[in-house]
Amino acid sequence: MKRRDFLFAGAGAAVLSGAPVNPTQRYLARIQALNPSLRAVIEVNPDALKIAAQSMRGPLQGVPVLLKDNIETADGMQTTAGSLSLERSPVPKDAFLVTRLRAAGAVILGKTNMSEWANFRSTHAVSGWSGRGGQTRNPYALDRNPSGSSSGSAVAVAANLCAIAVGTETDGSIVSPASVNGIVGIKPTVGLISRSGIIPISASQDTAGPMARTVREAAILLSVLSGVDPEDPATADAQHAEIDYTKTLDAKGLRGARLGIARKSFGFNADVDQLMEGCIAHLRSEGAEIIDPIELPPDAKISEHEQEVLLYEFKAGLNDYLKRRGSKETLASLIEFNNRESRREMPYFRQELFEQAEKKGPLSDPAYQSARAECLRLTRTDGIDPAFAKHRLDALVAPTSCLAWLTDWINGDAANGGCSTPPAVAGYPHITVPAGFVHGLPAGISFFGLPWSEPTLLRIAYGFEQTTHARREPRMLATARNTP
């Protein structure tokens, strides 16, 4: 995995192959030019150029990377999860994944805007909005939503404000914004990438992951981010997965792959269904064996138990995180802050989820234990695991997400489809790749599988990408055109 393998595609960018350009300067200039319209970057690293000049040797030497604003950096930038309540609250050290990025020679270019508190504050939230960063906009149609909560990371990659970015996901927050912004997103097996130094929602579902314009770039980033961290027990099994993921890529990776179609994730949009049927036909034509349909438990049944788990884990995890950070804040005091600062923090939606979580007890409560057991039963024992065993699958396939909806600060989000919940709740890996366009808006196709199956999923995703080349650069149109 050499530095020259890393392509910087898109308008205004260059290939790092000895060309006499400074990519950090070019990206900073692009951020200055486009970010006022997109609001994808919440803060630029004041030391970015100095870091670039002193960049260490490694697979990401000199590569500018943007980080979601819930990932700690002990430098001149803040880590706030988009909330005004954590402004000017320093962190003690870099997140573990940031130490790996720096050791690999990456230039931490800045922080990206996000759905505040990773979209876990209100039941009527507007994705891509935060009190600190304002509203992120979709670069394909500026009146459309970028989806959340890794909104800024996805938009920054799509609009070429950085080479690569890091997002985080609890359920859909990498793959959905990746899909609606026309990029590649990887939600890895929980435990492949350390969560220490990341503002949490859920100990059982949270993970960071790569966001990139190509599968190869995402694989390079995944190789750097993955690893064992003594401060995150979930990474104990990650040692066997510390590999160079680029070596798993194969342009003919679809040949012989056994792919199951998760039909329950279809049906939310007839035009997306039509696009997906074309993708399935393409998978078959490239040598994949298609098993259709594959039955999985309905998302509604899973989500009922998932929500209970997240409320419990958010309260416990956030209070513990804030204490370790050295902050005097608690979930209760954050609720009070939002009430005091409601004109700035709650102009469009409130904090129902904060209030529901605050009422929960400890993780020893039987209600929590029961809900978590049901989550595992529905997504693993009676869900993904038997489907793979019965049909000897390499991956499950589905449309990643609905199309980008109009941003609506009165009614909130209007998302109406997607496949993120089963792999997210199970803690299993999930990759989305650009599949095409519907009415000028990007749509992604998902491949998800069993734990630690990232090499297989990357091979399949790369095979699809290399035989379709479906991604197109965004043009920052005012609105989506009403044509196929």
Both tokens of 125, joined, read: 């939230």
Clarify whether 226 is annotated catalytic: no
The catalytically annotated residue of 85, 122, 147, 149 is 149
- The catalytic residue among 150, 173, 194, 196 is 173
* Catalytic-residue membership of 149: yes
111 is catalytic: no
Q: Among the options 68, 187, 315, 360, which is catalytic?
A: 68
Active site residues: 68, 149, 173
